[in-house]
């Protein structure tokens, strides 16, 4: 339900799930399904449950980065992230050819760690673009009405675009982005997302490659932040409740 709501924090980007959907007509379809290179590669996705979380004991891996006693658990460790990214990269490469290199569109800032590791794991050439968007809405719920803070630097006409996302929560931001990019004449638009919270999804978005399905709890690390902190952690972890209650 609303378990993925980031704790409200002044200055935090209005991202994350929860709240009421203000549908702008996108629900159920992003309108670009036939622009996708094909059906979802669901066999790539690992299901992570709370039972997989490794509680932080005496050795606190957050402390190596200056976050002493702030994390509750590691949800996905560095090695598992690395192994998954190699698998995702192979799968994306298999759907592209050398002549039409994928144009990776990294959605700032959360996907930064992922895109750099992903591009380095891709066995074919790729090109890199960045986009930054912000979602209008309350502090804790994304409305699906999105504003572009930084647009692509170039034309994507005829290109095979792969949107690289850190996490799909409600899916509202991504749904908007898919429709926006589809109007620019790309040959295809696919999505690779490292994480997805299936229970938080409010709009049906075509995400072809998903690394991990995770519980709705708020996660940090590997690009994901809480009030701009924790992006620098090399693993995905659960924040201690005392950090936001």
Q: Which is nearer to ligand IMP, 135 or 188 (CB)?
A: 135
- Residue 32: which of 210, 169, 205 has the closest Cα? 205
Encoded one letter per residue, x for contact with Mg ion by CB under 5 A and - for no contact, window 94-123 reads ----------------x-------------
Cα angle 132, 133, 136; round to 5? 160
Q: Is residue 211 within a helix (H) or strand (E), and if so which, with residue range?
A: strand 209-213
221 binds, among Mg ion, ligand IMP, none (CB under 5 to 8 A by kind): none
169 binds, among ligand IMP, Mg ion, none (CB under 5 to 8 A by kind): ligand IMP
Residue 219 makes contact with ligand IMP by CB under 6 A: yes
The catalytic residue positions are: 169
Contact between residue 90 and residue 113 where contact means Cβ atoms under 8 Å apart: no
Residue with Cβ nearer ligand IMP (61 or 110): 110
Site track 153-192 with ligand IMP (rule: CB under 6 A), x = hit: -------------xxxxxxxxx------------------
Interface with ligand IMP includes 221 (CB under 6 A)? no
Map tokens 């675009």 to a residue. 161
Q: CA geometry: angle at 84 spanning 91 and 159, to 5°?
A: 40
Q: Under rule CB under 6 A, which residues in 86-125 are in contact with ligand IMP?
A: 110
Whole-number Å distance between alpha carbons of 106 and 194? 12
191/98 Cα distance (integer angstroms): 19
Piece in contact with ligand IMP (CB under 6 A), picked from 11-19, 52-60, 77-85, 95-103: 11-19
The answer to whether 197 touches 166, Cβ cutoff 8 Å, is: no
Binding residues for ligand IMP restricted to 13-32, rule: CB under 6 A: 15-17
Q: With contacts defined by CB under 6 A, how many residues of the chain interact with ligand IMP?
A: 20
DSSP string, 10-55: TT--S-SS-S-----S-TT--S-GGGSSSS--GGGPEE--GGG-EE
Binders of Mg ion among 130-169, rule CB under 5 A?
166
């Amino acid at each position: 339900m609303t378990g993925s709501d980031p704790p409200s924090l002044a200055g935090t980007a209005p991202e994350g799930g929860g709240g009421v959907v203000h549908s702008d007509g996108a629900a159920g379809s992003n309108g670009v399904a036939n622009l996708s290179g094909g059906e979802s590669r669901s066999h790539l996705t690992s299901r992570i449950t709370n039972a997989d979380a490794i509680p932080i004991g005496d050795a606190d891996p957050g402390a190596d980065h200056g976050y002493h006693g702030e994390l509750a658990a590691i949800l996905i460790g560095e090695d598992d992230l690395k192994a998954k990214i190699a698998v995702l990269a192979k799968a994306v490469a298999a759907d592209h050819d050398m002549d039409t290199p994928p144009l990776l569109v990294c959605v700032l800032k959360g996907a930064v760690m992922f895109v750099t590791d992903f591009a380095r794991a891709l066995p074919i050439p790729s090109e890199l673009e960045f986009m930054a968007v912000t979602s209008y809405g309350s502090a804790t719920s994304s409305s699906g009405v999105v504003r572009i803070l930084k647009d692509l630097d170039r034309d994507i006409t005829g290109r095979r675009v792969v949107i690289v996302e850190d996490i799909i929560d409600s899916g509202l931001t991504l749904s908007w982005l898919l429709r926006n990019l589809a109007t620019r004449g790309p040959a295809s638009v696919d999505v690779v997302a490292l994480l997805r919270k299936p229970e938080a999804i409010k709009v049906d978005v075509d995400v072809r490659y998903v690394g991990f399905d995770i519980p709705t709890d708020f996660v940090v690390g590997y690009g994901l932040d809480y009030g701009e902190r924790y992006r620098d952690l090399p693993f995905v972890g659960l924040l201690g409740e005392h950090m936001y209650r």
